[in-house]
């Protein structure tokens, strides 16, 4: 085992999960391989590592993160909590169910930083190419140190691809879009909604990016927000100033005509049109090619590349579950590499994939998808020593969250849930999300003094009672 060398490509939440999985085994007395982790960014965290840049980074590389400044979790934290490192353990106090990005980054950073693994990651290092030698059954990984500009190659027995799949934007073409005089950008390059104040904003797409950037734009004072859908409207009870229309037909300068004949004028367009699986460092025979869905083809148990089981993918699925699913995957991959879990034959793997793919093809909507992914996570955890948690309760939380968004898309982040791990009920954030304009960790964890107006409105200002008493009539 000590002679094996494993390359982890990427140190976002999936790569961090892999590091933590091997560290957990080592702390329990297991002998583990030599682990080498390459991360293109200057710090770990993947999408959660916010970078104000868009387009290219300081080294001229394409910016990996699609994170924007104002993002707060758009799903309850109780559905993504690590089973072996809780929010209670990290923050030592209850926090709200929908933390801002900075709090979630602090959480995932804290778990792995606590293990002392940061020194083992080669940051600012881009993987340029991976070669597979069939005769030797090993991989040559060529990397570039972006700070020094030097290139080097190393041999590995196995590789773990943990680069995620929300970095290469899908950018469709629309007739006449080149004539639009305002700003046009993909959600990948969106960094904040403040500059959308008093603008007429068009979002093309009907999934989470459009939903969240839309309400962020509304929150920051956009004059109007229009969401253009291709197959179906999201159907939320949008506030005045927000609407959904069918797909854009074409642009005529600042005027946009939709497929139902409606026209609107806009100042800014954001393409919320999704992302593509793209692995420019992998040869075609090793690279996953799949639509973004919850059970990609050619991955046994969602992680083992069928054509070459020395290649593993983490976090390649469309996701309801996130951090804890990455853990379940990482623990399973670790046990395959350590020899704790036998790898079935190619025929057995293919049969297993057909069973799950057949079930996947029969799914009938969000509720089915959530339950399917819960069963997938359960299947992985059952095969390892990762702590099992109440997946059925997490499903219930997901479905309740979906319902609350339909009740009020602007206030669902003010709801609280109970941790399935500790039983702790989330606190209520000191400021309703719609009024909270400071996304920093310091502000989030603070207990700010109420303004005089806030105290009067919620009845905690004693002067309000005196005022009522002293008022004639």
pLDDT in tens, the chain (473 residues): 447 999 999 999 999 999 999 999 999 999 999 999 999 999 999 999 998 999 999 999 999 999 998 999 999 999 999 999 999 999 999 999 999 999 999 999 999 988 888 988 999 999 999 999 999 999 999 999 999 999 999 999 999 999 999 999 999 999 999 999 999 999 999 999 999 999 999 999 999 999 999 999 999 999 999 999 999 999 999 999 999 999 999 999 999 999 999 999 999 999 999 999 999 999 999 999 999 999 999 999 999 999 999 999 999 999 999 999 999 999 999 999 999 999 999 999 999 999 999 999 999 999 999 999 999 999 999 999 999 999 999 999 999 999 999 999 999 999 999 999 999 999 999 999 999 999 999 999 999 886 665 666 667 665 545 444 454 44
What does the alpha-carbon distance between residue 73 and residue 429 come to, in Å, rounded to a whole number?
Answer: 13
pLDDT confidence of residue 467: 46
CA atoms within 13 A on the CB side of 101: 18
Cα 208 to Cα 134, 182, 216: the distances in Å are 41, 24, 12
* Start-to-end Cα distance in the chain: 85
pLDDT of amino acid 116: 86
User: What per-residue confidence (pLDDT) applies to 449?
Assistant: 80
Q: Is 127 exposed, middle or buried (0-12, 13-18, 19+ CB in 10 A)?
A: buried
Q: What is the pLDDT of residue 468?
A: 47
pLDDT score for 343: 97
- Which residues lie below 8 Å from residue 165, measured CB to CB, with a gap of 6+? 275, 276, 277, 278, 292, 315, 316
pLDDT at 455: 66
Is the pTM higher than 0.85? The answer reads yes
- CA dist 7 → 32, 156, 252 (Å): 13, 6, 50
Q: What's residue 157's pLDDT? A: 98
């Amino acid at each position: 085992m000590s002679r094996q060398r494993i390359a982890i490509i990427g140190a976002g939440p999936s790569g961090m999960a892999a590091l933590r999985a091997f560290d957990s085994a080592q702390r329990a007395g297991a002998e583990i391989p030599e682990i080498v982790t390459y991360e293109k960014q200057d710090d770990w965290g993947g999408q959660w590592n916010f970078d104000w840049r868009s387009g290219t980074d300081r080294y001229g590389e394409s910016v990996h993160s699609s994170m924007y400044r104002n993002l707060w979790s758009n799903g309850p934290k109780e559905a993504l909590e690590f089973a072996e490192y809780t929010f209670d353990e990290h923050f030592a106090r209850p926090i709200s169910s929908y933390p801002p990005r900075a709090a979630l980054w602090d959480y995932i950073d804290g778990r792995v930083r606590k293990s002392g693994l940061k020194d083992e990651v080669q940051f600012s290092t881009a993987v340029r190419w991976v070669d597979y030698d069939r005769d030797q059954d090993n991989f040559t990984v060529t990397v570039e140190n972006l700070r020094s500009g030097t290139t080097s190659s190393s041999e590995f027995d196995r590789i773990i691809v943990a680069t995620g799949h929300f970095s290469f934007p899908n950018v469709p073409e629309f007739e006449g879009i080149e004539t639009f005089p305002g700003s046009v950008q993909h959600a990948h390059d969106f960094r904040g909604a403040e500059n959308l104040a008093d603008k007429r904003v068009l979002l093309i797409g009907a999934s989470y990016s459009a939903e969240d950037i839309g309400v962020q734009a509304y929150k920051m004072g956009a004059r109007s927000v229009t969401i253009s859908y291709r197959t179906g409207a999201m159907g939320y009870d949008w506030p005045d100033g927000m609407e959904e229309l069918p797909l854009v037909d074409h642009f005529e300068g600042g005027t946009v005509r939709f497929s139902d004949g409606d026209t609107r004028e806009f100042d800014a367009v954001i393409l919320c049109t999704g992302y593509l699986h793209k692995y420019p460092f992998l040869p075609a025979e090793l690279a996953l090619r799949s639509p973004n869905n919850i059970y990609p083809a050619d991955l046994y148990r969602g992680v083992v590349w069928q054509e070459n089981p020395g290649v593993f993918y983490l976090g390649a699925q469309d996701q309801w579950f996130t951090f804890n699913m990455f853990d379940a995957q990482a623990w399973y991959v670790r046990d395959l590499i350590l020899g704790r879990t036998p790898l079935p034959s190619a025929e057995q793997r293919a049969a297993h994939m057909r069973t799950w793919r057949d079930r996947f093809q029969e799914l009938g909507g969000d509720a089915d998808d959530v339950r399917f992914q819960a069963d997938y996570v359960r299947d992985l955890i059952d095969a390892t020593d990762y702590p099992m948690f109440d997946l059925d309760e997490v499903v219930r939380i997901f479905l309740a969250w979906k319902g609350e968004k339909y009740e009020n898309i602007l206030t669902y982040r003010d709801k609280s849930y109970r941790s399935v791990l500790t039983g702790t009920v989330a606190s209520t954030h000191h400021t309703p999300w719609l009024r909270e304009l400071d996304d920093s960790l310091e502000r989030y964890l603070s207990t700010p003094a109420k303004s005089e107006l806030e105290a009067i409105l919620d009845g905690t200002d004693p002067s309000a009672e005196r005022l009522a008493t002293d008022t004639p009539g």
